Amino acid sequence: MDLEHERTLARSALEALAHSTTDLEEYVHAVAPLAAERIAPGTSTSITVRRAGEATSVASSDVTAELCDEVEYLAGEGPCLASMDAGAVLVVPRIDTETRWPSWREASTLAGFASSAAVPRRIAHDFDVALDLYAREPDVWDRAALARAEVYTEVLARTLDMFVRAGDAPRLATELRAAIAARATIDQAVGIVMVHEGGGPQDALARLEASALERGSTLRAEAARVVGELGP
């Protein structure tokens, strides 16, 4: 397979998308499903932005991938954050045998994913983006798929930088503030579930994850529902 041709096709698709969208939110919400469709069959994607140490998913191809990333941010560890720290692609061929990040592994397994990969790119100091890939089959990330993912992340990083320089920085800051607030809501929901159903924090978080998956919602949305219905 001609990897350079693969890179050219991916770059052309993303650059055309950048010229047809008018703001950052519209762009990232278009990139996530496009990347899922083009990188490899059966791929789910989530786009993580980390600025000044705070990470959030700004778009995803489906809520299941976003939920797994939310659990990772909450735990403070997982393949996406590790790939950003190292500045290198990180591949998890089999999630069920991964031992480094138990909270993320449990959430991803519960969601039905069997393999994952994270492709990061540094935009500026304390400003990173990563394209997080999930699949329901193990060991699916071949050279061509990862080459496409790297091009998508490269162009995504360049375009994010362009939007931020053009004045979309306040929108990104709002996303990050919302992510911080969501984590506080998740912590509150975990406490409520512990009071009502017993068990420890990990048990309560697992129940929230299972409920979110059943409802087809994100972890933050499920936490907000629990706090709204059962909170003080």
Sequence spans of domains, the chain: 3-167, 175-230
In CATH, 175-230 is 1.10.10.10: yes
Report domain 3-167's class: alpha beta
Task: Say what the pLDDT of residue 170 is.
Answer: 59
Angle (CA) 65-121-96 rounded to 5° is 35
Task: Say what the pLDDT of residue 166 is.
Answer: 64
pLDDT, tens digit (0-9, with 9 covering 90-100), for 167-183 = 555 565 566 556 556 67
Q: In what order do the strands lie in the sheet with 44-51?
A: 54-60, 44-51, 127-135, 115-124, 90-92
On whether the CB atoms of residues 192 and 226 are closer than 8 A, the answer is yes
Same fold for the domain at 3-167 and the one at 175-230? no
In the predicted model, residues of the chain with pLDDT beneath 50 are none
pTM attached to this predicted model: 0.78
Closest CA to 9 of 29, 28, 48, 37: 37
Q: Which H/E stretch holds residue 123?
A: strand 115-124
pLDDT, tens digit (0-9, with 9 covering 90-100), for 109-135 = 989 999 999 999 998 888 899 999 999
